[in-house]
Amino acid sequence: MIRYALKCSEEHGFESWFRSAGDFDSLAAAGQLECPVCGSTEIAKALMAPRVAPAEREAARPAPEKPAQQPVTAGAEMPPELRSAIEKLRAEVEAHSDYVGRSFAKEARAIHEGEKPGRAIHGEANAEEARALLQDGIPVLPLPFRDRRGTN
């Protein structure tokens, strides 16, 4: 798997994972990559800084101490600006895609393979289903919320 920083023709930046560089090239050439902000299918790789492992001598040096960070625990109050951003994202997703529930993986695969017309969808998939989609070059992204229709 390889992660690329990407940008669309409108200069919106985002990231996505691909099985290989060739998979990115073929998906981009087929117009099957889409900007999550504006929907543009003109996607290119953006400039990225490589991740370089430190030299052995650097690894032997003790890491500088970092200030203790407060852990976020389940049930902790979410900062208002984060809650607002997630709600804005939820509204965009719900307004511009179809909820397909537990059939997300099946529906995403059918769209990717051309068996069903292309459209934006969201729904539910378990980790194994999501991993299989990514391994087959089908771009998926976890959302930080559940659809209101998928909850009681």
pLDDT confidence bin for 7, thresholds 50/70/90: very high
- Residue 145: its pLDDT value, please? 76
Domain ranges of the chain: 2-45, 79-150
Q: What percent of the chain has pLDDT over 90?
A: 18
pLDDT confidence bin for 112, thresholds 50/70/90: very high
Q: What is the mean pLDDT of the chain?
A: 81
Positive or negative torsion for Cα 68, 72, 77, 81: positive
Mean pLDDT over 28-36 rounds to 87
pTM score, two decimals?
0.48
- From start to end of 9-127, where are the E strands? 13-18, 43-45, 98-101, 121-123
- Residue 152: its pLDDT value, please? 42
